[in-house]
Amino acid sequence: MRNRRNTSSRDALKSAASAAVGWHCPCCSYSRRGRTESSCELEPRVVPVTRHCSCCRHSGGARIYADVPTDLNMSACGEVSMSRPANLLIRWATARAENPLGESTLAIRWGSNGRRLFVSGRERFAVDDATYLVFNHGRRFSSTIDSPTPVDCCTICFQPQFADDTLRALVTPDDRLLDEPHAAGWTSGPEFLERATPHDAVVSPVLHLLERQCDSEAATRGWFEEHFSAALVGLLQAHRNVFREMERVPAARPSTRAEIYVRLQRARDFMEASLFEPLTIPDIAAAAWFSPHHFLRLFKQTFGQTPHQYLTRRRLEHARRLLSASEISVTEVCSTVGFESLGSFSLLFRRHVGQSPEAWRFAERSRIFTAATSCARFTDTAQSPQPQD
């Protein structure tokens, strides 16, 4: 069973780490179309990728960071096979992509400056600045990006054995770990609730640290291994927190609470993935196999707000990002984030933010300009020569 699982995990990592052809390794100065090596003795760990794939119509730059030395072989369409199993951090940025159906290993996906949409069977998920997404080993999915600006995408791909060992170390008594440090029979790998999770205090700090410092001098293979482990431990802690949130579901039997909670999460993921589209309560309820009135009551009791309030808040968050980071007009922002009329959008924006969209955009850009000017002045002062006594 373990051999079949390891073979499947290698296949999953091929899909999860698909990059494309045209490689150059700055560590070992190896360059060849269709193949690269990252097994040089210098510390890491990073393989820069230029990819353009006719299968997935994905183009853009990518960087792959591994926590052990491994050779990467590339197929014509960009699938990656490794000579040695490794946990990977994959980063790239693109404004448009259509990635075909593939199989995931256990992975965390997050991003910034836009949205990435995922489809898996009848379920839809969206990842943006406010969320991260967990897929278990074996989940089949496709994804798309269609954004006016490049979307920064990040993925951590975990080897199943790495996840199993981490969970076993957390739940097994120390004396048994001393007697059996490498228990071959351990097959109770973690199964996480697959959902777009709002950024939290246990997983997200590790993700953001990896994103910020993966190119720093401190980011050796050992550094990546430690932080991959920290991300997985945080994921297990967040998984335990899910059960506390389940307690708010109004049902007597634990099995009923769990089923209702999973369906409500499916409805919320559907709302996130369809955030900019016209949505009705029957549409959302049908996505999670609820009746409309049953769904409305359970959603309010579990999450403390109605579906309409949730959609309004999330659409206004995206509107603020577009007002701050793009040059499109307020009218275009209104239609892009799914509001029916400019008047209702302006009214709701003022009610939640305290300013009109135009006034908020001006104030926000003034704040950013002032902060950038102050930073430049401080840098110039620090670099100017000091008088000698």
Instruction: State what percent of residues in the chain have pLDDT above 90.
Output: 31
Low-confidence winner among 49-63, 117-131, 155-169 (lowest mean pLDDT): 49-63
CATH code at 311-376: 1.10.10.60
Above 70 in pLDDT, residue 1? no
Which residue has better confidence, 132 or 24?
Answer: 132
Asked if 115 and 314 count as a contact pair (C-beta separation under 8 A), the reply is no
Roughly what angle, to the nearest 10 degrees, separates helices 221-246 and 254-273? 120
3-state secondary structure of 73: strand
Strand partners, 92: 62, 153
CATH code at 2-243: 2.60.120.10
Cα–Cα distance, 207 to 201 (Å, whole number): 11
Q: DSSP letter for 30, please.
A: B
Provide the pLDDT for residue 132. Answer: 95
Provide the pLDDT for residue 58. Answer: 39
Q: DSSP letter for 204, please.
A: H
Q: What are the pLDDT digits (tens) for 178-214? A: 556 555 554 555 688 898 999 999 999 999 999 999 9
- Average pLDDT, integer, range 320-330: 87
Above 70 in pLDDT, residue 237? yes
Q: What are the pLDDT digits (tens) for 331-386? A: 999 988 889 899 999 999 999 999 999 999 988 888 877 776 776 665 556 555 55
Using DSSP bridges, classify how beta strands 46-53 and 58-66 pair: parallel, antiparallel or unpaired: antiparallel
Q: What are the pLDDT digits (tens) for 84-116? A: 888 889 888 988 888 888 888 899 999 998 889
- Average pLDDT, integer, range 19-28: 33
38 contacts: CB under 8 Å, gap ≥ 6: 25, 27, 28, 44, 45, 46, 47, 64, 66, 69, 70, 71, 72
Which residue has better confidence, 82 or 6?
Answer: 82
Q: DSSP letter for 262, please.
A: H
Domain boundaries, the chain: 2-243, 247-304, 311-376
Provide the pLDDT for residue 82. Answer: 75
Q: In 3D, which of 67, 63, 59, 61 has the Cα closest to residue 26?
A: 63
Above 90 in pLDDT, residue 301? no
Q: What's the full length of the chain, in residues?
A: 389
CA distances in angstroms from 11 to 57, 103, 130, 185, 378, listed in the order given:
21, 8, 30, 22, 51
47 contacts: CB under 8 Å, gap ≥ 6: 19, 23, 25, 36, 38, 63, 64, 65, 66, 72
Share the mean pLDDT of the chain: 77
CA distances in angstroms from 295 to 40, 314, 338, listed in the order given:
56, 19, 22
Cα–Cα distance, 104 to 134 (Å, whole number): 10
Cα–Cα distance, 21 to 372 (Å, whole number): 38
pLDDT band at 176; cut points 50, 70, 90: low
Bond preceding residue 45 cis, omega within 30 of 0? yes
Low-confidence winner among 33-42, 67-76, 143-152 (lowest mean pLDDT): 33-42
Q: What are the pLDDT digits (tens) for 217-230? A: 889 989 999 999 99
- Average pLDDT, integer, range 312-339: 89
Q: What are the pLDDT digits (tens) for 243-294? A: 777 877 877 688 888 889 889 999 999 999 998 888 999 999 999 899 999 9
